[in-house]
């Protein structure tokens, strides 16, 4: 059943620790993610899930251990972080679209300004991904004119336009109504089908069951448990995971 | 909003307020009339605005209108450097490095915590004795060709007063720039940090992030308060009268003395300031509404 662990993982967290002042948010976290793998991270509020995935594109700086993306270690002396960040897509709980730009312009900004594409090529690519997230008809609108579900899908398209090697999701459906949650999860399912490497912080256990290769449970800054979904849900080893699952299922 | 819904009919509260205002005004006029025994005489005013010039046979602006035009010039001329100071120091104020932040903070705090009048007395002395000779404005004006001089006069007013006007402009700009700095800082800081995070995660460089994400959003929030500050600038230009810049308030003092019609002159001057500032605020309102409509 177990996947073969490739020689070189796409993402490697090796003994990562982080403090906010005196408060330790991450405690000696180890995680290896192979190309094409899909990881779901869950755990109680404040357990450090957001902080963990934000360390992967260095929106947060870790203090101990190593964060390695595609063979490049991220640290204070990483020469060009933008080189790394363009290959890592990130989707936020609150969408964080650029409100002064249309949906299309949101999607074109990175390709034009970071990848140096011509506006015509960038527009074509943006329309392609807006089609994939099923909102091509919203391209000319501003984010404020869209529903929450549409905004989140636009944000996903904006990330995909950079053709990233991995997509990070931080509770992408937590700010949404049930109907919209389904729209967004459908898009994420499609994305998983296409073979995208994904790390998803979510409490949508249905999604974890069907899509994830491994489910990680975090508590107080550590990854307590990281198992394939069938084993994670059937017989978790740790007491805390059991308690969490009994609350959430 | 439905057209006409804003023009609500007068309720009894409005009526009560209105009659209270009328009564209060009536009382003030009564006091002035009966108790103060002031004899109103407005006849000197028109002539202080415009006078008939025998030599050229034309109506020319007299002191009050000359001052009015100088005030408008001062306002327009100092707006540009004031906005520039505001933009530069405002951006520095949000910089990551300590030194630029400290520099800009010092500028703002220095000006905000000294009365404008005192600042202007000190600063004017410094400008007129140190900076103006360095700039060589006086020599430049004296040596200018008639054609240059004509365009200079168009911008700065009468040639003899150009150094005077420039000193005034620098003072006003320094002083107003501090307030604009704070407006710009607030505008930049009002753009949520999550916008920065979103920009960084698609790989934007610091400069592109600033240029494409933060600045456009900050600008939108900064324009209305900056317009308000511009109107304040127009009104505050009156303190330049105390360093003998020949703008409206300065020339009004002269006119009040020479005509001995103190109230009439100052009320007329108040009217001139009011018209100017009110027109400006109407214009800014309109601009803003158009911009909002264009956005929607
Ligand atoms: N910038 C910060 N400064 C100080 N403490 C912080 C900061 N950001 C997060 N924390 C703290 O770190 C802990 C972990 O935060 P984090 O956002 O990673 O948790 P989370 O697991 O994502 O929780 P949630 O499910 O509520 O999103 C929390 O206790 C939080 O209060
Ligand atoms: Mg979180």
Q: Tens of pLDDT along A50-97?
A: 999 999 999 999 999 999 999 999 988 777 888 999 999 999 999 999
| Residue of A49, A93, A240 to test ligand 1 pocket, by largest number of atoms within 8 Å of CB | A49
Tokens of A235: 């017989």
Which helix (H) or strand (E) segment is A83 a member of? helix A81-85
Sign of the alpha-carbon torsion through B4, B6, B10, B15: negative
- Separation of alpha carbons B179 and B159, rounded Å: 31
Q: What is the mean pLDDT of residues B96-117?
A: 91
Mean pLDDT of chain A: 93
Q: Is 70 exceeded by the pLDDT of residue B96?
A: yes
- Which residues in A lie closer than 8 A to residue B195 (C-beta atoms)? 96, 98
**Alpha carbon of B38: minimum distance to chain A alpha carbons (Å):** 59
With beta carbons under 8 A apart, name residues in chain A contacting B193.
none
CA–CA distance, A26 with A11 (Å, rounded to integer): 17
CB distance A25 to ligand 1 below 6 Å: yes
Q: ipTM value, please give it.
A: 0.92
Measured in angstroms, how far is the CA atom of residue A46 from the centroid of ligand 2? 7
Contact list in A for residue B204 (CB cut-off 8 A) is 82, 109-110, 113-114
What is d(CA A189, CA A172) in angstroms, rounded to the nearest whole number?
13
* Nearest-ligand number for the alpha carbon of A51: 1
Best residue among A19, A21, A51 to mutate for probing ligand 1, ranked by most atoms within 8 Å of CB: A51
pLDDT in tens, A227-245: 999 999 988 888 888 888 8
What's the pLDDT at B4?
46
Q: Strands A214-219 and A38-42, how do they pair? A: parallel
* A198 vs A196: CA distance, rounded Å: 6
Please state, for a pLDDT cut of 70, what percent of chain B lies above it: 96
Size of interface A-B (CB pairs under 8 A): 63
Residues B182 and A225: their CA atoms lie apart, in Å, by 50
What is the model's pTM?
0.82
Stretch B257-268: mean pLDDT: 90
Tell me if B228 sits within 8 A of B179, measured CB to CB.
no
> Average pLDDT, stretch B1-15?
66
pLDDT on residue B97: 87
Give the distance (Å) from ligand 1 centre to CA of residue A41: 15
Distance from CA of A232 to the nearest CA of B (A): 31
Tens-digit pLDDT profile for residues B203-229:
999 999 999 999 999 988 898 899 999
Q: How far apart are the first and last CA of chain A?
A: 25
**Alpha carbon nearest to ligand 1 atom 27, residue:** A45
Residue A242: which residues within 8 A CB-CB, separation 6 or more? A236
Which residue among B199, B200, B202 places its CB closest to the CB of A159?
B202
B230 falls in which pLDDT band (50, 70, 90)? Answer: very high
Nearest by Cα to A236 from A225, A247, A223:
A225
Q: Measured between CB atoms, does A83 come within 8 Å of chain B? A: yes
Residues whose CB is less than 8 angstroms from the CB of residue A5 and which lie 6 or more positions away in sequence, other chains included: A32, A34
Closest-CA residue of B relative to A155 is B198
Q: For residue A248, how far is the Cα from the chain centroid? A: 21
Interchain pair B202, A85: CB under 8 A: yes
Query: How far apart are the CA of A206 and the nearest CA of chain B, in angstroms?
Result: 28
DSSP secondary-structure letter at A36? T
Question: Is residue A42 within 6 Å of ligand 1 at its C-beta?
Answer: no
To the nearest whole percent, how much of chain B has pLDDT over 90?
46
pLDDT on residue B131: 77
Angstrom distance (rounded) from CA A136 to CA A140: 9
Nearest by CB: A114 against B202, B213, B217: B202
Let me know: does B168 contact B243? Beta carbons within 8 Å.
yes
Ligand 1: which atom is nearest the Cα of residue A52?
Answer: 18
pLDDT of residue B3: 47
Smallest CA–CA distance, residue A58 to chain B, in Å, is 9
DSSP state of B37: -
Ligand 1 test: best mutation among A46, A169, A199, most atoms within 8 Å of CB? Answer: A46
**Ligand closest to CA A220:** 1
Average pLDDT for residues B29-57, to the nearest whole number?
81
Segment B51-75 shows an average pLDDT of 87
**Could you say which of A83, A100, A162 has the minimum Cβ distance to residue B202?**
A162
Q: Check pLDDT > 50 for residue B2.
A: no
For residues A175 and A155, give the distance between their C-alpha atoms in angstroms, rounded to a whole number: 14
For residue A51 and ligand 1, the question of a CB distance below 6 A is answered with yes
Q: Give the pLDDT score at A120.
A: 97
List, for residues A120-140, the tens digit of each pLDDT value: 999 999 999 999 999 999 999
A79 touches chain B (CB under 8 A): no
């Amino acid at each position: 059943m177990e996947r073969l662990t490739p020689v070189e993982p796409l993402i490697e967290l090796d003994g990562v620790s982080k403090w906010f002042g005196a408060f330790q948010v991450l405690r000696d976290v180890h995680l290896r993610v192979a190309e094409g793998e899909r990881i779901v991270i869950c755990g109680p509020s404040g357990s450090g899930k957001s902080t963990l995935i934000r360390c992967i594109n260095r929106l947060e700086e870790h203090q101990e251990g190593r964060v390695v993306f595609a063979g490049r270690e991220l640290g204070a002396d990483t020469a060009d972080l933008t080189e790394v960040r363009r290959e890592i897509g990130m989707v936020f709980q609150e969408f964080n679209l650029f409100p002064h730009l249309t949906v299309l312009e949101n999607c074109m900004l990175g390709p034009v300004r970071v990848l140096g594409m011509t506006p015509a090529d960038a527009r074509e690519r943006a329309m392609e991904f807006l089609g994939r997230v099923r909102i091509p008809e919203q391209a000319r609108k501003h984010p404020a004119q869209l529903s929450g579900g549409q905004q989140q899908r636009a944000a996903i398209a904006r990330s995909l336009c950079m053709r990233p090697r991995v997509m990070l999701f931080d509770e992408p459906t937590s700010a949404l109504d049930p109907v919209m949650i389904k729209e967004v999860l459908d898009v994420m399912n499609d994305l998983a089908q296409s073979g995208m490497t994904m790390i998803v912080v979510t409490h949508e256990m249905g999604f974890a069951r069907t899509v994830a290769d491994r489910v990680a449970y975090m508590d107080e800054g550590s990854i307590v448990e990281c198992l394939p979904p069938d084993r994670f849900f059937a017989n978790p080893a740790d007491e805390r995971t059991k308690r969490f699952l009994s609350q959430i299922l | 909003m439905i057209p006409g819904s804003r023009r609500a009919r007068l309720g009894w509260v409005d009526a009560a307020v209105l009659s209270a205002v009328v009564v209060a005004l009536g009382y003030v006029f009564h006091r002035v009339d009966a108790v103060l025994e002031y004899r109103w005489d407005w006849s000197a005013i028109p002539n202080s605005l415009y006078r008939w010039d025998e030599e050229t046979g034309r109506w020319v602006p007299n002191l009050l209108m000359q001052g009015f035009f100088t005030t408008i010039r001062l306002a327009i001329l100092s707006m540009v450097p004031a906005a520039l100071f505001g933009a530069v120091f405002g951006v520095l104020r949000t910089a990551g490095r300590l030194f630029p932040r400290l520099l800009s903070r010092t500028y703002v705090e220095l000006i905000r915590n000294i009365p404008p009048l005192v600042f202007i007395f000190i600063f004017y002395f410094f400008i007129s004795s140190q900076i103006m000779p360095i700039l060589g404005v006086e020599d430049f004006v004296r040596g200018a060709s008639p054609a240059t001089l004509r365009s200079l006069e168009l911008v700065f007013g009468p040639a003899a007063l150009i150094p005077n006007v420039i000193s005034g402009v620098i003072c006003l700009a320094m002083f107003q720039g501090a307030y604009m700095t704070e407006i710009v800082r607030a505008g930049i800081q009002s753009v949520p940090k999550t916008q920065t995070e979103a920009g960084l995660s698609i790989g934007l460089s610091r400069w592109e992030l600033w240029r494409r994400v933060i600045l456009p959003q900050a600008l939108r929030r900064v324009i209305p308060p900056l317009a308000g500050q511009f109107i304040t600038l127009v009104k505050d230009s009156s303190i330049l009268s105390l360093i003998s810049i020949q703008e409206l308030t300065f020339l009004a003092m002269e006119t009040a003395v020479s005509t001995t019609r103190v109230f009439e002159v100052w009320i007329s001057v108040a009217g001139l300031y009011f018209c100017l500032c009110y027109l400006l605020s109407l214009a800014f309102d309109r601009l803003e509404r158009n911009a909002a409509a264009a956005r929607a």
